[in-house]
A and B are shown apart, each in its own frame.
Chain A
Amino acid sequence: MKKTVFAALLMLAAATAFGAEKRWVVSEGTTLKSEQSISAANLADLPVGAELTLVEDGGRWLKVQTADGKEGWVYAGRVADAAPVAEVGGGDGLLGGTMQQSQINTAKADSARSIRGLSPETAAYAKQHGTPEALKKELDRILARKVSDKEVKTFLKEGKIGEYAR
Protein backbone atom coordinates (compact mmCIF):
# COMPACT_ATOMS: atom_id res chain seq x y z
CA MET A 1 0.00 0.00 0.00
CA LYS A 2 2.72 2.40 1.11
CA LYS A 3 4.77 1.37 -1.92
CA THR A 4 1.81 1.88 -4.24
CA VAL A 5 1.21 5.39 -2.90
CA PHE A 6 4.90 6.19 -3.23
CA ALA A 7 5.01 4.84 -6.80
CA ALA A 8 1.87 6.81 -7.69
CA LEU A 9 3.44 9.99 -6.29
CA LEU A 10 6.61 9.35 -8.27
CA MET A 11 4.61 8.82 -11.46
CA LEU A 12 2.64 11.98 -10.79
CA ALA A 13 5.85 13.93 -10.24
CA ALA A 14 7.31 12.50 -13.48
CA ALA A 15 4.18 13.36 -15.46
CA THR A 16 4.22 16.91 -14.10
CA ALA A 17 7.90 17.27 -14.90
CA PHE A 18 7.27 16.35 -18.54
CA GLY A 19 4.20 18.59 -18.69
CA ALA A 20 1.82 15.74 -19.56
CA GLU A 21 -1.64 16.78 -18.46
CA LYS A 22 -3.88 13.95 -17.33
CA ARG A 23 -7.62 13.51 -17.58
CA TRP A 24 -9.82 10.75 -16.20
CA VAL A 25 -12.97 9.31 -17.75
CA VAL A 26 -15.86 9.99 -15.37
CA SER A 27 -18.95 9.24 -17.48
CA GLU A 28 -20.23 5.83 -18.46
CA GLY A 29 -20.50 5.00 -22.16
CA THR A 30 -17.57 7.24 -23.17
CA THR A 31 -16.01 6.52 -26.56
CA LEU A 32 -12.84 7.66 -28.27
CA LYS A 33 -13.80 9.31 -31.57
CA SER A 34 -11.79 9.71 -34.77
CA GLU A 35 -12.92 13.35 -35.09
CA GLN A 36 -14.51 16.09 -32.98
CA SER A 37 -18.05 14.90 -33.52
CA ILE A 38 -20.56 12.53 -31.95
CA SER A 39 -21.18 11.01 -35.38
CA ALA A 40 -17.46 10.27 -36.03
CA ALA A 41 -16.18 6.67 -35.95
CA ASN A 42 -15.65 4.95 -32.58
CA LEU A 43 -11.98 4.08 -32.01
CA ALA A 44 -12.35 2.59 -28.53
CA ASP A 45 -14.70 2.30 -25.57
CA LEU A 46 -13.27 4.09 -22.54
CA PRO A 47 -14.24 2.71 -19.12
CA VAL A 48 -14.90 4.99 -16.14
CA GLY A 49 -11.61 5.65 -14.33
CA ALA A 50 -9.46 5.27 -17.50
CA GLU A 51 -6.49 7.66 -17.42
CA LEU A 52 -5.87 9.75 -20.53
CA THR A 53 -3.06 12.05 -21.55
CA LEU A 54 -4.13 15.37 -23.03
CA VAL A 55 -2.67 15.95 -26.49
CA GLU A 56 -4.66 18.96 -27.63
CA ASP A 57 -7.35 21.06 -25.97
CA GLY A 58 -9.94 21.80 -28.63
CA GLY A 59 -12.51 23.38 -26.29
CA ARG A 60 -15.59 21.15 -26.02
CA TRP A 61 -13.62 18.27 -27.57
CA LEU A 62 -10.19 17.11 -26.38
CA LYS A 63 -7.55 15.19 -28.31
CA VAL A 64 -6.23 12.51 -25.97
CA GLN A 65 -4.02 9.44 -25.86
CA THR A 66 -5.09 6.29 -24.01
CA ALA A 67 -2.75 4.21 -21.82
CA ASP A 68 -2.30 1.74 -24.71
CA GLY A 69 -1.29 4.51 -27.11
CA LYS A 70 -4.52 5.09 -29.08
CA GLU A 71 -5.09 8.70 -30.04
CA GLY A 72 -8.45 10.30 -30.73
CA TRP A 73 -11.07 12.80 -29.57
CA VAL A 74 -13.25 12.67 -26.50
CA TYR A 75 -16.08 15.02 -25.49
CA ALA A 76 -14.73 17.28 -22.71
CA GLY A 77 -17.79 16.74 -20.54
CA ARG A 78 -17.01 13.06 -20.16
CA VAL A 79 -13.63 13.55 -18.53
CA ALA A 80 -12.39 15.43 -15.45
CA ASP A 81 -9.03 16.56 -14.14
CA ALA A 82 -9.39 14.32 -11.06
CA ALA A 83 -10.09 10.59 -10.81
CA PRO A 84 -13.70 9.62 -10.06
CA VAL A 85 -14.78 8.42 -6.61
CA ALA A 86 -14.11 4.69 -6.22
CA GLU A 87 -16.82 2.50 -4.75
CA VAL A 88 -16.48 0.32 -1.68
CA GLY A 89 -18.08 -2.82 -3.03
CA GLY A 90 -17.70 -5.62 -0.52
CA GLY A 91 -17.30 -6.15 3.20
CA ASP A 92 -13.54 -5.73 3.10
CA GLY A 93 -13.56 -3.60 0.00
CA LEU A 94 -11.50 -0.70 1.32
CA LEU A 95 -8.83 -0.13 -1.29
CA GLY A 96 -9.17 -3.78 -2.25
CA GLY A 97 -9.88 -4.99 -5.78
CA THR A 98 -9.95 -2.93 -8.91
CA MET A 99 -12.29 -0.04 -9.41
CA GLN A 100 -14.03 -1.86 -12.23
CA GLN A 101 -14.64 -4.85 -9.96
CA SER A 102 -16.22 -2.65 -7.32
CA GLN A 103 -18.40 -1.10 -10.00
CA ILE A 104 -19.59 -4.55 -11.00
CA ASN A 105 -20.42 -5.18 -7.33
CA THR A 106 -22.33 -1.91 -7.26
CA ALA A 107 -24.34 -2.88 -10.33
CA LYS A 108 -25.09 -6.30 -8.83
CA ALA A 109 -26.22 -4.74 -5.57
CA ASP A 110 -28.56 -2.44 -7.45
CA SER A 111 -30.12 -5.09 -9.67
CA ALA A 112 -30.65 -7.32 -6.61
CA ARG A 113 -32.36 -4.37 -4.95
CA SER A 114 -34.74 -3.77 -7.83
CA ILE A 115 -35.81 -7.42 -7.97
CA ARG A 116 -36.62 -7.53 -4.29
CA GLY A 117 -38.08 -4.05 -3.98
CA LEU A 118 -37.29 -2.67 -0.54
CA SER A 119 -34.10 -4.34 0.72
CA PRO A 120 -34.53 -6.65 3.75
CA GLU A 121 -32.36 -4.25 5.78
CA THR A 122 -34.57 -1.24 4.98
CA ALA A 123 -37.70 -3.36 5.57
CA ALA A 124 -36.29 -4.28 9.01
CA TYR A 125 -35.66 -0.59 9.76
CA ALA A 126 -39.21 0.30 8.63
CA LYS A 127 -40.69 -2.42 10.85
CA GLN A 128 -38.69 -1.31 13.86
CA HIS A 129 -39.58 2.29 13.21
CA GLY A 130 -43.32 1.75 12.58
CA THR A 131 -43.13 3.30 9.09
CA PRO A 132 -46.60 3.38 7.44
CA GLU A 133 -47.12 0.77 4.71
CA ALA A 134 -48.03 3.49 2.19
CA LEU A 135 -44.57 5.08 2.50
CA LYS A 136 -42.85 1.73 1.99
CA LYS A 137 -44.83 1.38 -1.24
CA GLU A 138 -43.77 4.90 -2.29
CA LEU A 139 -40.11 4.00 -1.74
CA ASP A 140 -40.62 0.82 -3.79
CA ARG A 141 -41.94 2.96 -6.66
CA ILE A 142 -39.00 5.36 -6.34
CA LEU A 143 -36.46 2.51 -6.52
CA ALA A 144 -38.26 0.88 -9.45
CA ARG A 145 -38.09 4.10 -11.51
CA LYS A 146 -34.92 3.41 -13.47
CA VAL A 147 -33.45 5.39 -16.33
CA SER A 148 -31.36 3.57 -18.94
CA ASP A 149 -28.26 4.92 -20.73
CA LYS A 150 -30.25 4.85 -23.95
CA GLU A 151 -33.03 6.99 -22.47
CA VAL A 152 -30.51 9.56 -21.22
CA LYS A 153 -28.84 9.69 -24.66
CA THR A 154 -32.18 10.19 -26.41
CA PHE A 155 -33.11 12.87 -23.88
CA LEU A 156 -29.82 14.77 -24.45
CA LYS A 157 -30.19 14.38 -28.21
CA GLU A 158 -33.75 15.77 -28.20
CA GLY A 159 -32.63 18.73 -26.10
CA LYS A 160 -29.51 19.25 -28.28
CA ILE A 161 -27.40 19.18 -25.12
CA GLY A 162 -23.64 18.63 -24.75
CA GLU A 163 -22.22 16.35 -27.44
CA TYR A 164 -25.49 16.68 -29.33
CA ALA A 165 -25.43 20.49 -29.48
CA ARG A 166 -25.16 22.01 -32.92
Chain B
Amino acid sequence: MKRLIVSLAAFSCLAALPAHAGWQDKLNNLMNPESKEGKILSGATQVLSSSQEMTYQTECTVGESLALDSMQRFGKPVNNEALQKYVNLVGNAVARNSRRSTIPYRFVVLDSPVQNAFAAPGGIVFISRGLLNLLDNEAELAAVLAHEVGHVAEKHALKSIRRAQFLQGAASITAATMKGSKGQQFESMIGDMQSTLFDKGLDQGMEFEADQAALETTYRTGYDPSAMTTVLEKLKRQEATATKNGSWFSTHPPLDERLVRVAAGLKKYPDRASLAKLPTRFAKFAKGGKASKTTK
Protein backbone atom coordinates (compact mmCIF):
# COMPACT_ATOMS: atom_id res chain seq x y z
CA MET B 1 0.00 0.00 0.00
CA LYS B 2 2.80 2.40 1.01
CA ARG B 3 4.60 1.66 -2.26
CA LEU B 4 1.40 2.38 -4.16
CA ILE B 5 0.98 5.79 -2.50
CA VAL B 6 4.65 6.69 -3.09
CA SER B 7 4.21 5.76 -6.76
CA LEU B 8 1.10 7.90 -6.93
CA ALA B 9 2.94 10.80 -5.31
CA ALA B 10 5.81 10.38 -7.76
CA PHE B 11 3.37 10.24 -10.64
CA SER B 12 1.66 13.45 -9.53
CA CYS B 13 5.06 15.18 -9.28
CA LEU B 14 5.77 14.12 -12.85
CA ALA B 15 2.38 15.24 -14.02
CA ALA B 16 3.07 18.72 -12.67
CA LEU B 17 6.27 19.12 -14.68
CA PRO B 18 6.39 21.46 -17.66
CA ALA B 19 5.87 19.62 -20.95
CA HIS B 20 9.22 20.75 -22.38
CA ALA B 21 11.28 19.29 -19.55
CA GLY B 22 12.89 15.93 -20.23
CA TRP B 23 10.88 13.56 -18.06
CA GLN B 24 13.83 11.27 -17.61
CA ASP B 25 15.87 14.12 -16.12
CA LYS B 26 13.03 14.94 -13.80
CA LEU B 27 12.72 11.32 -12.75
CA ASN B 28 16.42 11.36 -11.87
CA ASN B 29 15.83 14.55 -9.89
CA LEU B 30 13.36 12.69 -7.68
CA MET B 31 16.31 10.80 -6.22
CA ASN B 32 18.10 14.06 -5.35
CA PRO B 33 16.72 15.33 -2.04
CA GLU B 34 17.89 18.92 -2.78
CA SER B 35 15.95 19.19 -6.06
CA LYS B 36 12.42 20.63 -6.21
CA GLU B 37 10.99 17.24 -7.20
CA GLY B 38 12.98 15.47 -4.48
CA LYS B 39 11.59 17.86 -1.84
CA ILE B 40 8.03 17.20 -2.98
CA LEU B 41 8.61 13.45 -2.74
CA SER B 42 10.28 13.76 0.65
CA GLY B 43 7.22 15.69 1.90
CA ALA B 44 4.97 12.90 0.68
CA THR B 45 6.97 10.20 2.47
CA GLN B 46 7.02 12.24 5.70
CA VAL B 47 3.24 12.31 5.72
CA LEU B 48 3.31 8.56 5.28
CA SER B 49 5.72 7.94 8.15
CA SER B 50 3.71 10.19 10.46
CA SER B 51 0.67 8.01 9.94
CA GLN B 52 2.48 4.85 10.99
CA GLU B 53 1.50 3.08 14.17
CA MET B 54 3.27 3.46 17.46
CA THR B 55 4.67 0.24 18.93
CA TYR B 56 2.92 -1.23 21.97
CA GLN B 57 6.07 -0.68 24.05
CA THR B 58 6.13 3.04 23.24
CA GLU B 59 2.39 3.27 23.82
CA CYS B 60 3.06 1.90 27.34
CA THR B 61 5.78 4.52 27.94
CA VAL B 62 3.32 7.22 26.89
CA GLY B 63 0.70 5.73 29.24
CA GLU B 64 3.07 5.37 32.20
CA SER B 65 4.38 8.91 31.78
CA LEU B 66 0.83 10.24 31.62
CA ALA B 67 -0.06 8.13 34.68
CA LEU B 68 2.71 9.85 36.68
CA ASP B 69 1.48 13.28 35.63
CA SER B 70 -2.15 12.47 36.35
CA MET B 71 -1.34 11.35 39.91
CA GLN B 72 0.47 14.65 40.36
CA ARG B 73 -2.67 16.49 39.25
CA PHE B 74 -5.48 14.41 40.79
CA GLY B 75 -3.88 12.68 43.78
CA LYS B 76 -2.39 9.32 44.71
CA PRO B 77 -4.21 5.98 44.58
CA VAL B 78 -6.58 5.29 47.49
CA ASN B 79 -4.69 3.29 50.13
CA ASN B 80 -7.04 0.29 50.24
CA GLU B 81 -5.56 -2.84 48.67
CA ALA B 82 -8.82 -4.84 48.81
CA LEU B 83 -10.66 -2.08 46.93
CA GLN B 84 -7.88 -1.71 44.33
CA LYS B 85 -7.90 -5.49 43.77
CA TYR B 86 -11.70 -5.56 43.44
CA VAL B 87 -11.70 -2.72 40.88
CA ASN B 88 -8.96 -4.57 38.97
CA LEU B 89 -11.09 -7.73 38.89
CA VAL B 90 -14.17 -5.90 37.57
CA GLY B 91 -12.04 -3.98 35.05
CA ASN B 92 -10.18 -7.04 33.83
CA ALA B 93 -13.42 -9.02 33.52
CA VAL B 94 -14.76 -6.45 31.03
CA ALA B 95 -11.39 -5.76 29.36
CA ARG B 96 -11.04 -9.45 28.50
CA ASN B 97 -14.28 -9.21 26.55
CA SER B 98 -13.33 -5.96 24.80
CA ARG B 99 -12.09 -5.55 21.24
CA ARG B 100 -8.55 -5.31 22.58
CA SER B 101 -8.44 -8.14 25.06
CA THR B 102 -4.85 -9.37 24.94
CA ILE B 103 -2.97 -6.46 26.49
CA PRO B 104 -2.71 -6.28 30.28
CA TYR B 105 -4.91 -3.63 31.91
CA ARG B 106 -4.48 -1.95 35.29
CA PHE B 107 -7.32 -0.14 37.10
CA VAL B 108 -6.68 2.43 39.80
CA VAL B 109 -8.91 4.32 42.23
CA LEU B 110 -7.42 7.80 42.74
CA ASP B 111 -8.00 9.67 45.98
CA SER B 112 -9.74 12.64 44.37
CA PRO B 113 -13.18 14.14 45.03
CA VAL B 114 -13.48 15.30 41.39
CA GLN B 115 -15.89 12.95 39.58
CA ASN B 116 -13.73 11.61 36.82
CA ALA B 117 -12.44 8.55 35.01
CA PHE B 118 -9.84 8.46 32.26
CA ALA B 119 -7.56 6.05 30.48
CA ALA B 120 -3.86 6.34 29.71
CA PRO B 121 -2.72 4.65 26.48
CA GLY B 122 -1.44 1.10 26.91
CA GLY B 123 -4.13 0.18 29.44
CA ILE B 124 -3.85 2.07 32.75
CA VAL B 125 -7.39 3.17 33.65
CA PHE B 126 -8.18 5.60 36.48
CA ILE B 127 -11.42 6.25 38.33
CA SER B 128 -11.67 8.86 41.07
CA ARG B 129 -13.01 8.22 44.56
CA GLY B 130 -15.57 10.94 43.76
CA LEU B 131 -17.04 9.03 40.83
CA LEU B 132 -16.81 5.63 42.57
CA ASN B 133 -18.78 7.00 45.55
CA LEU B 134 -21.61 7.94 43.22
CA LEU B 135 -22.07 4.35 42.00
CA ASP B 136 -24.36 1.75 43.54
CA ASN B 137 -23.54 -1.58 41.99
CA GLU B 138 -20.88 -3.60 40.17
CA ALA B 139 -22.60 -3.25 36.80
CA GLU B 140 -22.28 0.55 37.05
CA LEU B 141 -18.58 0.26 37.89
CA ALA B 142 -18.18 -2.17 34.97
CA ALA B 143 -19.90 0.36 32.65
CA VAL B 144 -17.54 3.22 33.60
CA LEU B 145 -14.44 0.99 33.31
CA ALA B 146 -15.64 -0.52 30.01
CA HIS B 147 -16.10 3.01 28.61
CA GLU B 148 -12.45 3.73 29.43
CA VAL B 149 -11.31 0.36 28.05
CA GLY B 150 -13.11 1.39 24.85
CA HIS B 151 -10.86 4.46 24.61
CA VAL B 152 -7.74 2.29 25.10
CA ALA B 153 -8.92 -0.28 22.57
CA GLU B 154 -9.58 2.30 19.86
CA LYS B 155 -6.44 4.30 20.83
CA HIS B 156 -8.54 7.47 21.06
CA ALA B 157 -6.03 9.48 23.12
CA LEU B 158 -3.21 8.69 20.71
CA LYS B 159 -5.34 9.65 17.74
CA SER B 160 -6.24 12.99 19.35
CA ILE B 161 -2.80 14.51 19.77
CA ARG B 162 -0.29 16.10 17.45
CA ARG B 163 2.01 13.12 17.17
CA ALA B 164 3.21 13.51 13.59
CA GLN B 165 6.52 15.06 14.61
CA PHE B 166 7.26 12.36 17.19
CA LEU B 167 6.42 9.57 14.78
CA GLN B 168 8.76 10.78 12.07
CA GLY B 169 11.74 8.47 11.76
CA ALA B 170 11.81 5.97 14.65
CA ALA B 171 8.31 5.72 16.08
CA SER B 172 9.63 4.68 19.46
CA ILE B 173 11.38 6.18 22.44
CA THR B 174 14.24 4.77 24.50
CA ALA B 175 15.79 5.90 27.79
CA ALA B 176 18.75 7.21 25.75
CA THR B 177 16.70 9.21 23.23
CA MET B 178 14.53 10.72 26.02
CA LYS B 179 17.30 13.28 26.67
CA GLY B 180 17.58 14.66 23.15
CA SER B 181 15.20 16.25 20.67
CA LYS B 182 13.16 13.03 20.54
CA GLY B 183 12.60 13.42 24.28
CA GLN B 184 11.40 16.99 23.78
CA GLN B 185 8.94 15.79 21.14
CA PHE B 186 7.83 13.07 23.56
CA GLU B 187 7.30 15.58 26.40
CA SER B 188 5.30 17.89 24.18
CA MET B 189 3.18 14.92 23.08
CA ILE B 190 2.43 14.04 26.74
CA GLY B 191 1.60 17.70 27.49
CA ASP B 192 -0.76 17.73 24.53
CA MET B 193 -2.41 14.53 25.74
CA GLN B 194 -2.89 15.94 29.25
CA SER B 195 -4.68 19.02 27.97
CA THR B 196 -6.84 16.80 25.74
CA LEU B 197 -7.79 14.31 28.44
CA PHE B 198 -8.14 16.69 31.40
CA ASP B 199 -9.23 20.01 29.90
CA LYS B 200 -10.46 19.96 26.31
CA GLY B 201 -11.83 16.43 26.25
CA LEU B 202 -11.67 13.92 23.43
CA ASP B 203 -13.68 14.33 20.25
CA GLN B 204 -17.41 13.89 20.98
CA GLY B 205 -17.64 11.09 18.42
CA MET B 206 -15.01 9.15 20.36
CA GLU B 207 -17.02 9.53 23.57
CA PHE B 208 -20.18 8.23 21.92
CA GLU B 209 -18.15 5.36 20.46
CA ALA B 210 -16.76 4.52 23.92
CA ASP B 211 -20.30 4.55 25.38
CA GLN B 212 -21.48 2.06 22.74
CA ALA B 213 -18.36 -0.07 23.29
CA ALA B 214 -19.18 -0.06 27.03
CA LEU B 215 -22.71 -1.33 26.36
CA GLU B 216 -21.42 -4.15 24.18
CA THR B 217 -18.53 -5.10 26.46
CA THR B 218 -20.56 -5.12 29.68
CA TYR B 219 -23.34 -7.09 27.98
CA ARG B 220 -20.93 -9.66 26.57
CA THR B 221 -19.30 -10.06 30.00
CA GLY B 222 -22.70 -10.65 31.56
CA TYR B 223 -23.44 -7.32 33.30
CA ASP B 224 -26.67 -5.41 32.70
CA PRO B 225 -25.60 -2.76 30.13
CA SER B 226 -28.36 -0.36 31.18
CA ALA B 227 -26.08 0.45 34.13
CA MET B 228 -24.53 3.04 31.81
CA THR B 229 -27.86 4.88 31.81
CA THR B 230 -28.12 4.90 35.60
CA VAL B 231 -24.52 6.22 35.89
CA LEU B 232 -25.26 9.08 33.47
CA GLU B 233 -28.53 9.89 35.28
CA LYS B 234 -26.70 10.07 38.61
CA LEU B 235 -24.11 12.37 37.09
CA LYS B 236 -26.90 14.54 35.74
CA ARG B 237 -28.34 14.98 39.22
CA GLN B 238 -24.89 16.09 40.40
CA GLU B 239 -24.21 18.42 37.50
CA ALA B 240 -25.39 21.67 39.10
CA THR B 241 -23.23 21.37 42.19
CA ALA B 242 -20.19 19.29 41.14
CA THR B 243 -16.66 20.53 40.47
CA LYS B 244 -16.45 20.87 36.69
CA ASN B 245 -12.76 21.50 36.17
CA GLY B 246 -11.04 18.30 35.02
CA SER B 247 -14.17 16.19 35.57
CA TRP B 248 -16.38 14.00 33.36
CA PHE B 249 -18.69 17.04 33.09
CA SER B 250 -16.19 19.34 31.43
CA THR B 251 -14.43 16.78 29.24
CA HIS B 252 -17.40 14.76 27.98
CA PRO B 253 -20.34 15.55 25.69
CA PRO B 254 -23.61 16.84 27.25
CA LEU B 255 -25.21 14.15 29.41
CA ASP B 256 -28.62 14.48 27.73
CA GLU B 257 -27.15 13.65 24.34
CA ARG B 258 -25.23 10.69 25.76
CA LEU B 259 -28.40 9.42 27.45
CA VAL B 260 -30.34 9.54 24.18
CA ARG B 261 -27.64 7.64 22.29
CA VAL B 262 -27.19 5.08 25.07
CA ALA B 263 -30.96 4.48 25.14
CA ALA B 264 -30.88 3.84 21.37
CA GLY B 265 -27.90 1.48 21.72
CA LEU B 266 -29.59 -0.51 24.51
CA LYS B 267 -32.29 -1.69 22.09
CA LYS B 268 -29.75 -4.22 20.79
CA TYR B 269 -29.85 -6.02 24.15
CA PRO B 270 -33.50 -6.93 24.88
CA ASP B 271 -32.60 -9.54 27.52
CA ARG B 272 -30.46 -7.08 29.51
CA ALA B 273 -32.65 -6.87 32.61
CA SER B 274 -31.83 -10.49 33.52
CA LEU B 275 -28.09 -9.81 33.69
CA ALA B 276 -25.87 -9.21 36.73
CA LYS B 277 -25.92 -5.97 38.75
CA LEU B 278 -24.40 -7.13 42.06
CA PRO B 279 -25.06 -4.26 44.51
CA THR B 280 -24.10 -6.32 47.57
CA ARG B 281 -20.62 -7.33 46.38
CA PHE B 282 -20.00 -3.74 45.26
CA ALA B 283 -21.04 -2.38 48.66
CA LYS B 284 -18.72 -4.82 50.44
CA PHE B 285 -15.62 -3.41 48.70
CA ALA B 286 -16.54 0.12 47.65
CA LYS B 287 -18.76 1.24 50.50
CA GLY B 288 -17.16 -0.55 53.40
CA GLY B 289 -20.03 -3.06 53.58
CA LYS B 290 -22.75 -0.44 53.95
CA ALA B 291 -25.99 -1.13 52.09
CA SER B 292 -26.12 0.65 48.75
CA LYS B 293 -28.38 3.60 48.16
CA THR B 294 -31.17 2.86 45.75
CA THR B 295 -32.24 6.42 45.18
CA LYS B 296 -30.49 9.75 45.36
Task: Determine which of A141, A152, A159 lies in contact with B92 in the assembled complex, contact meaning CB atoms within 8 Å.
Answer: A152
Q: Which residues of B contact A105 (CB under 8 A)?
A: 56
Q: Contacts A27-B97, A122-B68, A147-B92; is A89 near B61 (CB within 8 Å)?
A: no
Task: Determine which of B55, B65, B68, B223 lies in contact with A91 in the assembled complex, contact meaning CB atoms within 8 Å.
Answer: B55
Alpha-carbon separation in the docked complex, A103 to B54 (Å): 15
Contact between A121 and B187, CB atoms less than 8 A apart: no
Alpha-carbon separation in the docked complex, A119 to B60 (Å): 9
Q: Is A5 an interface residue (CB 8 A)?
A: yes
Contact between A78 and B55, CB atoms less than 8 A apart: no
Alpha-carbon separation in the docked complex, A8 to B232 (Å): 40
Alpha-carbon separation in the docked complex, A164 to B275 (Å): 11
Contact between B99 and A85, CB atoms less than 8 A apart: yes
Q: Which residues of B contact A14 (CB under 8 A)?
A: none
Q: Contacts A145-B88, A156-B222, A165-B222; is A84 near B77 (CB within 8 Å)?
A: no
Q: Which residues of A contact B4 (CB under 8 A)?
A: 2
Contact between B278 and A125, CB atoms less than 8 A apart: no
Contact between A159 and B53, CB atoms less than 8 A apart: no
Task: Determine which of A77, A121, A138, A146 lies in contact with B97 in the assembled complex, contact meaning CB atoms within 8 Å.
Answer: A77
Contact between B68 and A26, CB atoms less than 8 A apart: no
Q: Is B249 an interface residue (CB 8 A)?
A: no
Q: Which of B21-29, B175-183, B201-209 contacts A (4 or more CB under 8 A)?
A: B175-183
Q: Is B148 an interface residue (CB 8 A)?
A: no
Q: Is A55 an interface residue (CB 8 A)?
A: no
Q: Which residues of A contact B100 (CB under 8 A)?
A: 84-85
Contact between A124 and B56, CB atoms less than 8 A apart: no
Q: Is A115 an interface residue (CB 8 A)?
A: no
Alpha-carbon separation in the docked complex, A76 to B220 (Å): 7
Q: Which residues of A contact B69 (CB under 8 A)?
A: 129, 131
Q: Is A35 an interface residue (CB 8 A)?
A: no
Q: Which residues of chain B from 205 to 223 have a CB within 8 Å of any chain A CB?
A: 216, 219-223
Q: Which residues of B contact A128 (CB under 8 A)?
A: 178-179, 183, 187
Q: Is A17 an interface residue (CB 8 A)?
A: no
Q: Which residues of B contact A87 (CB under 8 A)?
A: 56, 102-103
A66 to B: closest C-beta gap in Å: 19
Contact between A118 and B92, CB atoms less than 8 A apart: no
Q: Is B101 an interface residue (CB 8 A)?
A: yes
Contact between A26 and B98, CB atoms less than 8 A apart: yes
Contact between A139 and B101, CB atoms less than 8 A apart: no
Q: A91-B55, A120-B174, A138-B77 are in contact. List 7 more A-B contacts (CB 8 A).
A: A87-B56, A121-B61, A125-B186, A139-B64, A142-B77, A143-B64, A147-B89
3 closest Cβ pairs, A-B complex: A162-B222, A77-B220, A124-B178
Q: List 30 A-B contacts (CB under 8 A).
A: A2-B1, A5-B1, A27-B97, A28-B96, A28-B102, A78-B97, A78-B220, A80-B99, A84-B99, A84-B100, A85-B100, A88-B55, A91-B55, A94-B52, A103-B102, A120-B175, A124-B178, A125-B190, A128-B187, A129-B68, A135-B68, A135-B76, A138-B71, A138-B76, A142-B124, A145-B88, A152-B89, A155-B93, A161-B222, A165-B276
Residues of chain B touching chain A, judged by Cβ–Cβ distance below 8 Å, are: 1-2, 4, 52-58, 60-61, 64-65, 67-69, 71-72, 76-77, 84-85, 88-90, 92-93, 96-104, 106, 108, 124, 138, 153-155, 170-175, 178-179, 183, 186-187, 190, 216, 219-223, 271, 275-276, 278, 281
